[in-house]
Amino acid sequence: MKTRDDKNIQRLVEKMMLDSALEAPSFDFTSKVMSEVISMEKKKSISYKPLISKRAWFMIFAAIAVFITWLIFTGYSAETQTNINFNFINAANILKVFSGFQLSSLTLYILLLGIILIFLQIIFLKSYLDKRFEKEDKVF
Amino acid sequence: MDKLNDQHFINLVIGGDTRAFAVLVDRYKNMVFTLSLKMLQSDQEAEESAQDTFVKVYKSLEKFKSESKFSTWLYKVTYNTCLDRLKSKKRNISHVSVDDFEEKDVISLTNVLDTIESRERKQIIQKCLDLLQPEDRFLLTLYYFQENSLKEISKIMGINENNLKIKLYRTRIKIAGILKRKLEPQLINQYENER
């Protein structure tokens, strides 16, 4: 009796559920979702990413630390392993090349002014690009 | 076949073809929206919640494990997104007592339901569903609309299969009880006619 009741209730509820139709969202639902997804993607591609990640920095420091500890514990000293000849790097010889090189005071002033302008340009360009970046960030 | 197709589009999206996600949205938007609507009982909220669900799914698509069906995972996200919304709004959920039934009652209810005009019948059924708890409405929708297996529903709702069977049984009794109360006048008429 109980199972027959259950079957009848099952049939009744099935009938009820089949009568309540599957609903549909608004017609532009997919485009709304897609515009959100695409703007999210753009944001992701614009967002600041450091050239060297934190993980990479950690690995670099770890490698340096390991190298320094290795140097300390193996007792490495400058006298024991200097097989490479660094004599070719001689500052005095390099400076000799420029000994005959002379600039007029006017050229010096022009060069100085040029350098100052380059530095100013860097500052202006940086603030300009920063502002543009912020604007784009707001749009997305 | 469907699962294979879903996986094909998932692979395209993971490979960088964002537009391929639109196919998945189109394929499942009605079911996700219906499930959200059954839980939240508001068109606007259901649409927002369905949108949130798809965005969440997109964000974690790379983490999707293809051992389970994409739809199972999607409906699980739908369920959790709706639960979060319900929790944040702290809705008052009405509790309906479980009634006892006799075979005669159920058969009469089925007969009375058949005599009601289609549009009115849909409205009555909707009112009955509205009186259930959100989880119960979600369960019935999953079970009857997509014919999901109990195993899949247990994965979606995070309830073990045996408890799910009991929950499904109690939910059926509850909704039949609500329907009985709603159709009380028509039932009395029917009994009188039978005499």
Kindly report the CATH number assigned to the domain that includes residue B44.
Answer: 1.10.1740.10
- Cα–Cα distance for residue pair B185/B115, rounded to 1 Å: 13
The mean pLDDT value for B48-55 works out to 93
Supply B100's token pair: 């006892």
pLDDT at B40 over 80: yes
pLDDT at B55 over 90: yes
The mean pLDDT value for A71-92 works out to 65
> Domain span at residue B58?
2-89
pLDDT at B117 over 60: yes
Q: Do A36 and B55 touch (CB under 8 A)?
A: yes
Higher pLDDT, B69 or B183: B69
- For B171, half-sphere exposure in the C-beta direction (CA atoms, 13 angstrom radius) is 25
User: pTM of the full predicted structure?
Assistant: 0.65
- Cα–Cα distance for residue pair A63/B124, rounded to 1 Å: 72
Q: Which residues of B touch A30 (CB under 8 A)?
A: 22, 25-26, 29
The mean pLDDT value for A95-102 works out to 71
% pLDDT > 90, chain B: 22
* Chain B stretch 60-99, residues whose beta carbon is closer than 8 A to a beta carbon of chain A: none
The ipTM estimated for the assembled molecules is: 0.75
Mean model confidence pLDDT for chain B: 82
B61 CA to centre of own chain: 23
- Cα–Cα distance for residue pair B142/B154, rounded to 1 Å: 11
B19 close to A (CB below 8 A): yes
Asked if residue B97 is part of any domain, the answer here is no
Residue ranges of alpha helices (H) inside B149-183 are 150-157, 161-182
pLDDT at A140 over 50: no
Q: According to the model, what pLDDT value does residue B1 have? A: 45
Among candidates A1, A5, A25 on the partner chain, residue whose Cβ is nearest the Cβ of B29 = A25
CATH number of the domain within which B166 lies: 1.10.10.10
Q: Do A40 and B59 touch (CB under 8 A)?
A: yes
pLDDT at A58 over 50: yes
Judgement on whether residues B137 and B168 belong to the same structural domain of the protein: yes
- Cα–Cα distance for residue pair B116/B112, rounded to 1 Å: 7
Q: How far is B37 from chain A (nearest CA, A)?
A: 8
